[in-house]
Amino acid sequence: MVREWLGFEADGEGDHWLLKVRKRGANTHWVAKQLGRLAQIHPRDVGFAGLKDRNAVTEQSFTLPVRSAVGSEWPGVTGEGFEVISAVRHRRKLKRGALRANDFEIVIREFSGDAAALAVRITAISARGVPNYFGPQRFGIEGGNLVRARRWFSGEIEVHDRFERGFAMSAARSAMFNAVLARRVNEGTWNRIQAGDVANLSGSNSVFAVDAVDETLTQRCNLLDIHPTGPMWGKEPTRAQGAIAALEQSIAAEHALLANGLERAGLETQRRALRLPVGDLKWTLAADQLNLSFRLSRGAFATAVLHELLANAFAQGGLVEQEEE
């Protein structure tokens, strides 16, 4: 189960309904389209804060104008793969990214690992976080979004649909980020600030250049207050300097098709934290069933946590080979 945490409550008044929707077997865009169809409004008037996995049981929020064909009768409305749980008046349409975090509840059956070793690992992850990899779902079914990006950037195909273009570019950027992160993991610097890094202030989009590392920066990094970052590739040069810039440029050179394609697409270069703090990590183990719960910031993947917790490593997708613990 995945539950959105918006970080705010519905206003109780206004020109929109803030719906809480439970879904399974349906992606977010599909649900938004079905809600728009039921309300007899254009899909662009349906707001949501983030995308959720098709296969997981998820609870997420949508907004629709109050004046719609459904009126105030949203609770209990169902469709293919979704059910509306509640509806409260709200002043604003939800915008992408307008959430603080996601809460995960995960059940792992037939668990056969060492409980003592698991406890040690959970303690370590709570204290230091995990590598902030993009999960396999970022790349589409069997990596189809990344395949499409490569074919598009090589001139083999044209991609006209804006959603397909967006998914392809997102997969390409994510794959390059994963490759940079994998290199930093191999070097043991994914969770340590280095001279030349661009650091991220935890819980925000704020970043700053690190010319030199001092005791204060090291301590802030150890306390999960700041994190080193990697590039979400785009048209502008990397903001990193020195050896960090050289590392990122070497990844771009190894995967020039993706890098050049993203630069031509004109995307703004961004930075993403290499480390992911894991909040409120709890677990119980009964017989062979492991129950996990934790909170992750928006844009993070639970698979990154599971990869560090469990012996059966998952394929990171994109440019990174499957790793073994």
Tokens of 48: 């949501």
Tokens of 124: 């370590």
Question: Exactly one of 53, 103, 211, 225 is catalytic; which is it?
Answer: 53
- CA distances from residue 134 to 155, 182, 221, 261, 313 in whole angstroms, order as listed: 26, 11, 21, 20, 14
Q: How many residues does the chain have?
A: 325
Tokens of 310: 């469990």
Q: Cα separation of 26 and 31, whole Å?
A: 7
Q: Tokens 């929109």 sit at which residue?
A: 16
Q: Cα separation of 249 and 68, whole Å?
A: 51
Q: Cα separation of 103 and 319, whole Å?
A: 28
Q: Cα separation of 126 and 237, whole Å?
A: 34
Using DSSP's 3-state secondary structure scheme, residue 7 falls into coil
Q: Tokens 């590739």 sit at which residue?
A: 233
Residue 258's closest CA among 133, 184, 161, 151?
151
**214 classed as catalytic:** no
Catalytically active residues are 53
